[in-house]
Structure 1
Amino acid sequence: MMSRGHKLILLLAVLAMSGAMLTFLGKRQAAPAVELKVLGAPGVSLAQLRGKVVILQFWATTCGDCDHTLAELAQLHRRYQARGLETLAVAMVYDQPRQVASYAYANSLPFRVAQDDGSAARGFALGSANPPLTFLLDRSGRIAQRLPGKPDPGRLRAMVEKLLAERP
């Protein structure tokens, strides 16, 4: 039999999960109008990506959790790109462009890598948040989910599949 304390913890966990799902399913705000400087390619605006599901990953070359997250994103990107998934890895403003390019090349990242000039972090109101920080945008360019820290791969995959199944 569960003690009162265990029941309370279980109830809080269920409420937290419900709140996260409501955020995912609830009213979505438009993503900010951000233009990104892509390494070795023309820049891209988020408005240009409407019609696609977008994973926008803020990361840093000095972030240990970012290594794991970017590897997971590479797998997701390869799996779902043909179905309309676009992945953008946005390096933090304090990262040196040479280090960002070296990391992207050394890790064979299959998606676009951008260097933030500070406008993307301001647009997404990162404030003092530390990377990794993941945003999922629906096909209409709205923020469907904000995931601080290292996201759970199974949960992230399920969210991506749900967004890919939606129509704008």
Structure 2
Amino acid sequence: MRSLVLYTALALGANAAAAADLEALKQGDMRKLVVYEAPLDLPDVPFLDAGGAEQRLSDHKGKVLLVNFWAVWCAPCRAEMPSLDRLQAEMGGEDFEVIAIATGRNPPPKVARFLEEVGVTNLPLYTDAQQKLARTMGIAGLPVSVLIDREGREAARLIGEAAWDAPEAKAVIEALLAE
């Protein structure tokens, strides 16, 4: 029993320390980042890839994820998407991935055309047409970006557009990777 109490205290302290580390990095666009002291569990709700196959965020457990919810009609999304693409090109791999999900009425051909128009070449096409994942995660406006830790929990959220390839954004992601 004593070891369980000690383990719980250490785990809670580690979460608070990790949150404090991210808080200290909030500069530039990252000032809008909401960091959770205790990361939130994620719903296991599917979204679709370009071929129509179901994907789940839990399929990527073990990686740090930047999940971005966007739509083809969203002007801030159009401005933000190239920075997400550059971030994926630079940092994407075995430990980190950008997952950009077109949510709502965004037919795959329009999504593909949008990505081509803004010059996105490093992000796969994902959709959440019925907004099941977006609603379950409390996404009310667009764009919204969610940082997910290696344990598959929401560590932080940013509402609105951000330059995700800026040094301050990369510093936040690198801090999550270091945990």
TM range (shorter): 0.7 to 0.9
Q: Please state if 1:67 is matched with 2:78.
A: yes
Matches within 5 A, 1:8-27: 23-24=34-35, 26-27=37-38
Higher mean C-alpha displacement, 60-69 vs 152-161: 152-161
Q: Tell me which residue corresponds to 1:81.
A: 92
Give matches, 1:1-168, under 5 Å.
Answer: 23-24=34-35, 26-40=37-51, 42-82=53-93, 84-106=95-117, 107-116=119-128, 117-126=130-139, 129-152=140-163, 153-166=166-179
- In structure 2, how many angstroms separate the alpha carbons of the residues matched to 1:148 and 1:97? 24
Stretch of structure 1 that moved more, 138-147 or 149-158? 149-158
Aligned Cα root-mean-square deviation (Å): 2.4
CA distance in 2, matches of 1:22, 1:64: 20
Task: Identify if the C-alpha distance between structure 1 residues 84 and 64 changes in structure 2 by more than 3 Å, giving closer, same or farther.
Answer: same
* Pair 1:25–1:58, CA change in 2 (3 A): closer
Alpha carbons of 1:108 and 1:150: their partners in 2 closer, same or farther (altered >3 Å)?
A: closer
Q: Indicate how the Cα distance of structure 1 residues 23 and 133 shifts in structure 2: closer, same or farther if over 3 A, else same.
A: closer
Residue segments in structure 1 that go unaligned for 5+ positions in a row: 1-16
- Report the TM-score, using the length of structure 1 for normalisation: 0.77
Show structure 1 runs of 4+ deviating over 6 A.
Answer: none
Distance across 2 between alignment mates of 1:132 and 1:115: 14
The 3 A distance-change label for structure 1 pair 159 and 83 is farther
Give me the TM-score of the superposition, normalised by structure 2. 0.72
**What number of residue pairs does the alignment pair up?**
147
- Give the drift of 1:21: 9.6
Unaligned runs of 5+ in 2: 1-25
Aligned mates of 2:151, 2:50 — CA distance in 1: 25
